[in-house]
Structure 1
């Protein structure tokens, strides 16, 4: 019955929208989506790139999670990592997921983000 994931929501502290916009559009290259007026009044911002949609909602007493994160598929992961590093974002590589290259980074408010790209697996030789 589940057809897919519509979006992932992350939390952010009040007043962080400008930093979020700069990071998600300027660094990650996502497009900001217009929020419906009734939801825009609550603050926060929405972003999309391809099928990935992230909602950043304002939360009083916000505290970033140490473990929870969205997994975001990217193309040319090494170039993407260099882009983040060039903008001052720390990249932490993790090669423990079979058949994937991946790294973790944090957005300006401390949300953990996983970026991954499947690695082409060679077919067995006969």
Structure 2
């Protein structure tokens, strides 16, 4: 039986690790976590914030997905969007999910990331 989502794997092009490390740690506020040695030899990097893990794996013929994305729950979504925008990220708001505030942004290699907060969480704050 499924108990929880362990992680989401995104792809990235060879040599993009420095840009990914800067973005996922400095901009998104995640921390890098070590990859097991056998997997570290393949390149890429892993990040975590609370129980959320994003793994970035190297793909030789990388093309960012146009629609596929992780949906990441955040708190204080307006402040979080401002944080990303202050680092040069393009924040695209989308009001089409009832009961939520949400926006998307792209990481340095073009992966789409969606950030959302339930409206009752916003109004209760």
Structure 1 CA distance for aligned equivalents of residues 37 and 113 of structure 2? 28
Structure 2 CA distance for aligned equivalents of residues 49 and 102 of structure 1? 19
Match of 2:103 in 1: 103
Match of 2:89 in 1: 89
Match of 2:21 in 1: 21
Task: Considering fraction of residues, name the structure with more helix.
Answer: 2
Structure 1 CA distance for aligned equivalents of residues 120 and 85 of structure 2? 25
Structure 2 CA distance for aligned equivalents of residues 55 and 116 of structure 1? 20
Superimposed CA distance per residue, residues 25-62 of structure 1 (whole angstroms, 9 cap, x where no aligned partner): 00000010000111000000000001110000000010
Larger Rg: 1
Divergent runs of 4+, >3 A: none
Match of 1:8 in 2: 8
Size of the aligned set, in residue pairs, is: 122
The TM-score with structure 1 as length reference comes to 0.95
Supply the RMSD in Å over aligned alpha carbons: 1.1
Structure 1 CA distance for aligned equivalents of residues 2 and 112 of structure 2? 26
Structure 1 CA distance for aligned equivalents of residues 52 and 6 of structure 2? 8
Give SS of 1:110's match: coil
Give SS of 1:102's match: strand
